[in-house]
Chain A
Amino acid sequence: MRGDVRRRRVGILGLLCALLLASLGQTAGADELVVTVADPFIELRTGPGRGYPVFHVVEQGQPVTLIQRRTQWVEVRAPRGHQGWVSRAQLGRTLDGTGEYLALQERSLSDYFRPHGEFGVGVGELAGTTSLTVQGGWAFTDRMRLELAWTQANSDFASRRLLDVSLSALLAPRRRVSPYVLVGTGRVKVTPRTVLVNADVRNERSVQAGAGVRAYLTRSFIWRAEYRHYVFLTDKDDNEELEQWRTGFSVLF
């Protein structure tokens, strides 16, 4: 059993390495993107950041080929084969094939109002202990979101892992900051700490309701804070109830 797990892990690691090598071996396709410099010149840096030195300039009227983008920088190839990184701001002052300025659209509030995906992490408090959450979601209208969240909280007595699916509705759609309400369901796995004897691992269903606030910050960033009230449907006479507060950041894509 342990051998299987190890073999699988080695397999996954091998696959990652293969993917890495495969991607590095790729060469640029024939479909090249070429723009023309419109400003007196643009600067090429050795790396994608203001801390890397400028090593070349391309003059007005010269064509440059766009290779790849990373954060706010785009790697280009100049006519004589010099390859370097140009900031978005400078690249926005180049002309594309139609003679217009290159359309560089950063993520904006309008993307946030359109259907989009979100992925984020958060920290919080679940039943008196620190909890960590990873969540993903799909905003299928400007008001409704379907979300999947995985939470882990390790207390002195047990480790709780929660997997929740929830549906949330914004109360002030098409606003930068909006409160929301949510309902959801999921499962919880409670693993007691090894120092406790006669305690079993429990795997139960949960239902939850909550409310929160979310705000679009800038570019692709969203901040959120929320409260959830969980009811765990146990085999015992009484259902167990827990509260969770959490806050976190998400990026939209």
Chain B
Amino acid sequence: MANRIQRTFLSAALLCVVASLSPAVAFADARGDTSAREGSAREGAAATILTPQVERRRISESQIKGSNIEVGAFAGVISIEDFGSSAIYGARVAYHVSEDVFFEAAVAQARAGDTSFETLNPGVELLRGSERDFRYYDMSVGYNLLPGEAFVGGNRAYNTSFYLLGGAGSTRFAGDDNFTVSIGAGYRVILAKGLTVRLETRNHVFDLDVTGRNKTTQNLAWTLGLGGYF
């Protein structure tokens, strides 16, 4: 008795497995043609396992999706010379020309704090209102100096690269536009699916005459950014 129930269930299960292997089988099964069922099941299974589905068509490079553009946003801290440290945030777009070189455009903004002189002398204001806004744009060339991998634990590895950046742009601060040269370096970690995390430090150098004499200022920024390849 138990044997018969087992046989019934097993043959029903076998039928289900065979039917799921090929749509042709289901069709044959509906007609109740047992020999056709077995034959096409074997062919169907063989086709799924052995023959790669290579279509007969020409493939050109333009059909492969390109992802040379990296877009991202960043935030961090900038030390504006004489005006203390402030929060900075911005956005950037990079175009990767080769595995080594990329071009990048960035915009960012911060709001300058008080100078020590202003803190010690209440009521004194060197800059008014929007003059304290620190905004810049720049265009840079980057070089991926040290590509490699970072390991987290025993089984996880992320692609990384240490890169150098150099560029030029313009900074609007104290109500004026100032020609700015920037140099920096950063560390890019590529997470899954082209998501990137970038830790970067950059020095923005420009001449400023807000304190009465023209002097070259060094404005160092540390930022952490999140981006993706498109």
Interface residues of A (CB under 8 A from B): 2, 12-13, 16-17, 19-20, 23-24, 33-36, 46-53, 62-63, 66-74, 79, 96-98, 100, 102-105, 121, 123, 129-130, 132, 134, 152-154, 156, 159, 191, 193-195, 220-221, 251
Contact = CB atoms under 8 A, between A and B. Distances in A.
A33 B97 contact: no
Interface in B131-181: 131, 139, 144, 146-149, 157, 159, 161, 168-170, 174-179
B159 A13 contact: no
Interface of B: 52-61, 63-68, 71-73, 91, 95-100, 103, 130-131, 139, 144, 146-149, 157, 159, 161, 168-170, 174-179, 190, 193-195, 209, 214, 226-230
Main secondary structure of the interface of B (DSSP, over half): strand
Contact of A69 (B66, B97, B100): B66
Given A68-B67, A97-B54, A129 B159 contact: no
Contact of B65 (A46, A67, A130): A67
Given A96-B57, A98-B56, A152-B170, A70 B68 contact: yes
A134 B139 contact: yes
Nearest to B100: A49
Given A49-B100, A70-B68, A72-B98, 17 more contacts: A2-B130, A12-B91, A19-B71, A20-B72, A24-B195, A35-B54, A49-B144, A51-B161, A62-B52, A70-B66, A70-B67, A71-B99, A97-B59, A98-B56, A103-B61, A132-B139, A154-B176
7 contacts: A20-B71, A24-B194, A24-B195, A47-B149, A62-B52, A72-B99, A103-B60
B99 A73 contact: yes
Contacts, number: 144
A102 B71 CA distance: 30
Contacts of A50: 99, 147
Nearest to A132: B168
Contacts of B176: 154, 159, 193-194
A156 B214 CA distance: 10
Nearest to A133: B139
A174 B214 CA distance: 50
Contacts of A129: 179
Given A34-B54, A154-B170, A251-B95, A46 B59 contact: no
Nearest to A103: B60
A166 to B, nearest CB: 21
Given A16-B91, A34-B52, A34-B53, A66 B194 contact: no
Contacts of B55: 34, 97
A98 B59 CA distance: 9
Nearest to B171: A154
Given A17-B73, A70-B229, A73-B99, A53 B149 contact: yes
A244 to B, nearest CB: 15
Contacts of A154: 170, 176-179
A70 to B, nearest CB: 5
A52 B228 CA distance: 19
B227 A71 contact: no
Contacts of B99: 48-51, 71-73
Given A23-B228, A24-B195, A98-B58, A68 B65 contact: yes
B148 A51 contact: yes
A47 to B, nearest CB: 4
